[in-house]
Every structure is written in structure tokens, then in C-alpha cells.
Chains A and B, each alone.
Chain A
Amino acid sequence: MKANEISTKTNARLNRIQIVSRIVRYVILANIILNLGFWLIYASPLSGGLGRSVWLILLQALVCVWFWKLAQLFHFYERGLVFSSETIRCIKTLGLLCIINWLLMTMAGRFFSHPLAVKLPMVLPPDVKVVTTMVKAHSVGFFSFNIAGVNFGMLLAGIIIVLIAWIMDEGRKIQEEQELTV
């Protein structure tokens, strides 16, 4: 294969990565704004007591930081840094944020009855009734591993992301060391 053919192919690939990463980054940034707006309108963060408000703000801030890091990850891809240390560190941070979120959500679940429940309007239409149901104690699903009322799904997802990031980092270091071999 000729060098100029390979170079053209490589440029085309880098270009594709750049375009796709840029689009995804903008979508994620738009999602952050949409998420914040939605949360301010429907979650009523400043009602329901100081404790609940602090937890809600903390959790929402964590979600925003997570999406911000995800946007940063695609920014690294846009710059052509696919297997670099910054990219892998970003993936690791995403995993750690999932674990921190799981910790906060579990604690919120213990301290507050419905920490993220959306408040219904005080006056309901006459044909609408509120039905209170029991939360399932055990369930399994995608990113959902509910045992005794505690959802371990997020913890599992966070650990898997951190593990994969660590493995990729080790692989990157092996490649770098092999390149240094005389």
C-alpha cells in the first residue's frame, strides 16, 4: 500500500471522527441545558425542606458534571486523541462519578422517602386520583440491580467503566513501552 494512499485514508478517518465527535458533543451540551431546564421546572428543588433541596442540587450538579465530562471525552476524540492518557482519564472519571452518584442516591434513599419524586400539583382534576404503590424490593434489569430496596446497578456500571478505563490505560502504556524498545 502506498504511503500517500494510507495518508489520504487516515485523513478521511480523522475527519470522520472529528465530525461525529463534534455533533455528539453539541448534542450532549444541549442535553445538559435541557436537563437543567427540565429539572428547575419539574423537580421544584427549592421546596420540601433544606435537606431535600441540598440533596437534589447535589445530585443534579453531579449529573451535569457527568455530562460535561462526556462532552469533554468527545472533545478529546475531536482533537484526534483516541487512545491518549487524557481520554482514558476522562473515561475513568465518568466511571467514578457513577459510583459517587450511586453513593449519594443510596444515602438520599435512606434519609428521604422520595428524594427525586416530582411534586404533583396540589389541586388535581376531579377524574384523576393518586395511587400509592409499593416499590419492588428486588428486581433486575439493564443498569438496574435492585436488592432489598437498594439499586446496585449504577455502582456496577461505574465499576465496569473504571475497570475498562484502567485496562485501556495499561494497554496504552504497554504500547508506549514497546515503541521505546530498541
Chain B
Amino acid sequence: MNATDVSPKASARLHRIKIVSRIARLGVIGFLLFTIWFLSRVWIFQGTPVLFDKLNAASAKAVHQYPLFLCAAILSLITPLILCVWYWKLAQLFHYYERGLIFAVKTIRCIKFLGLLCVINWMLVSTIHLLLQDQPSPSQPMRRLEFFSFDFGWGVDFGPLLIGAIIVLIAWIMDEGRKIQEEQELTV
């Protein structure tokens, strides 16, 4: 295959990648803005989060539960922030693709970070749930068997942990593969 034949093909592919990545990035930024708007609306216009209501209810019932609910309430403020950061990193990933960095270090590191954020979010959500374990959780059925959802009746969903771990592992394997390719290119 001649260089002149290959180069236009590669250029066409890169151009397609650029367009699709840009659309995806704008879509993800749109989701991020929607999430921020939605959360702001819930918190500002519809009153305090449910946990703060429970905080007030708990303080009336049992004073010793107040610190637990306070911790849970603070953690529940952090989880939406992590979600926003996750969307931001995803947009950044598509930005790297747009620049043509498909198997680069930055791209793989971004994927790894997305996986780690999933794991961190799982840890926070599980902690919140464990802190509130005496309280009924209406939106969490006892057992769920769905995609990305593994609730074995303890009230803790292991699905996001599994997903985060898989993303981190795949990113690590891709990184090792990239280093192998680089080392093979250096071989004389």
C-alpha cells in the first residue's frame, strides 16, 4: 500500500474520531450541566436533602444517633460532587480522543481515574448506608439482581465497586500493552 493511499485514509479516520469525540464531549458536558442544575433545584428549591430531615428526626428521637446522621449528611453532599467530577473526567477523555490521543498515557490515566471515582463513590454510598442502617431506605429494595447491581440483602450494592474495579483493571492492562508496544518499537 502506498503512503499516499494510506495517509488520506488515516486522515479520514482521525477526522471521524474528532467529530464523534466532540459530539460525545458536548453531550457529556450537557449531562454534567443538567446534573448540576437538577441537584441545585432539589437542594435549593425543594428544601434540604432527605438526610437532613432524618437528621432532625433523629435528634428528636435519640441524641446519640446525631453524630452518625451528621456524618451521613456530610458524606451525602460529597457524592454528587464526585458524580460531577466523574462527568468532567469523561468529557476530558473524549477531549483527548478529539486530539488524537487514543492509546496515550493521558487517556489511559483518565480511564483509570474514572474507575477509581466509581470505587470512591461506592465507598461513600456504602458508608452512608451503613451509618443509616437502622433507618428504612425506601429507594433501596432489600435484594436486587440487575445490571451493575449486586445487593445481597445487606443493603450495600457491590455493583459500582465491581464496575470501578473492572475499569481500573482494563486501564492498567491497556497501559501495560502500550508500554509493551513502545518497548518493541525501541527494539533494534
Binding site for B on A (CB under 8 A): 1, 3, 6-7, 9-10, 13-14, 16-17, 20-21, 24, 31, 35, 38-39, 42-43, 59-60, 62-63, 66, 70, 73, 77, 82-83, 98, 101, 105, 116-118, 131, 133-136, 138-143, 145, 154, 156-157, 160, 163-164, 166-168, 170-171, 173-175, 177-178, 180-182
Contact = CB atoms under 8 A, between A and B. Distances in A.
B139 A160 contact: no
Contacts of A140: 34-35, 38-39, 80, 83
A133 B138 contact: yes
A116 B3 contact: no
Contact of A177 (B9, B20, B79): B9
Interface stretch (B52-60, B62-70, B177-185): B177-185
Given A17-B177, A83-B177, A142-B86, A116 B146 contact: yes
Interface string B69-95: 000000000011001001000100100
A7 B184 CA distance: 8
Bin the interface of chain B by size.
35 or more
Contact of B10 (A62, A66, A134, A178): A178
A105 B148 CA distance: 13
Given A20-B169, A142-B83, A182-B3, 12 more contacts: A1-B183, A3-B188, A14-B180, A70-B166, A82-B176, A82-B180, A131-B138, A154-B148, A166-B20, A168-B103, A181-B1, A182-B1
A24 B165 CA distance: 10
Nearest to B137: A133
B187 A17 contact: no
B111 to A, nearest CB: 8
B177 A171 contact: no
B147 interface: yes
A142 B177 CA distance: 29
Interface string B149-188: 0101000000010110010011011101101110110111
Interface string B23-45: 01000000100110011000000
B136 A131 contact: yes
A83 B103 contact: yes
A6 B187 CA distance: 7
A81 B162 CA distance: 23
A141 B86 CA distance: 11
B183 to A, nearest CB: 5
Contacts of B35: 140
Nearest to B159: A143
Contacts of B106: none
Contacts of A20: 169, 172-173
Given A20-B169, A24-B169, A118-B141, A145 B102 contact: no
A21 B10 CA distance: 32
Contacts of A42: 143, 145
Nearest to B166: A70
B17 interface: yes
Given A163-B20, A180-B6, A171 B102 contact: yes
Contact of A105 (B3, B86, B146): B146
Name the residue in A59, A77, A82, A157 with the highest tally of chain B Cβ atoms < 10 Å from its Cβ. A82
Instruction: Give the 6 A-B residue pairs with the shortest CB-CB distance, closest first.
Output: A82-B177, A171-B102, A133-B138, A6-B183, A177-B6, A170-B13
B14 A174 contact: yes
Nearest to B2: A182
